[in-house]
Amino acid sequence: MRQHIQSSRRLRAGQEKRHCVPAPVRLDTGMARQGFWAVSSGRISFRRDGRWYSDDEPINNPRIARLFSQCLRQTGDGRWEITMAEERALVQVEDTPWVITGVERDEGGSFTLRLNDGTEERLDPTTLAVGAQNVLYARVKGGSHRARFLRPAYYQLAPAIEEGDGRFVLTSGGQRFEIPPAA
């Protein structure tokens, strides 16, 4: 405690804080290497709620969840895997490989979608569709994949959606777009 107070006084006096930067610590865990392989032995899934799971336990670290979403790739046979350098782990995708976590409206009335992998892209209103249980979907990643709106993102878009005669219409960029049922 005394050293901390003395260090604070030296810093206020304009002296450098050399001793407060800890030296790197190396832990010998006995593993050949650390990394992605540690989770590849478990079952990894991405679920409807927009969360990652390992062996049915939620992955609560937002950095790991974002990294998994950024490294998600579809294989040639249609399966999904997380690919990091030479490491790969198959993933069970419950509904959609990406989810929409946020929506922002610009000055022109168009919308930008924020995805769980940290990317943003402009909403193409012609790709909106209402699925089972009234879940809203849009096409993302250049139109190649469907993404599910998470509830907070849906509520950000909802003020621009009108209902009439059992139909839903989105107003975006000064135009109206009917939102059909998902095929």
- Predicted pLDDT of residue 86: 84
- Predicted pLDDT of residue 41: 58
Dihedral sign, CA of 28, 30, 32, 34? negative
Q: Tens digits of per-residue pLDDT, 4-58?
A: 333 333 434 444 333 333 333 333 444 444 444 444 557 999 999 999 999 999 9
Distances, alpha carbon 30 to alpha carbons 25, 26, 39, 41, in Å: 15, 12, 17, 18
3-class DSSP state for residue 69?
Answer: helix
* DSSP for residue 50: S
Nearest to 153 by CA among 104, 82, 110: 104
Dihedral sign, CA of 135, 136, 141, 146? positive
Q: Tens digits of per-residue pLDDT, 95-110?
A: 999 999 999 999 999 9
pTM of the shown model: 0.76
User: Which domains are seen in the chain, by residue range?
Assistant: 37-93 (3.10.540.10), 98-179 (2.30.270.10)
Question: H or E element: which one contains 64?
Answer: helix 62-70
Q: What is the residue-averaged pLDDT of the chain?
A: 82
What are the backbone angles phi and psi of residue 126, rounded to the nearest 5°? Answer: -75, -10
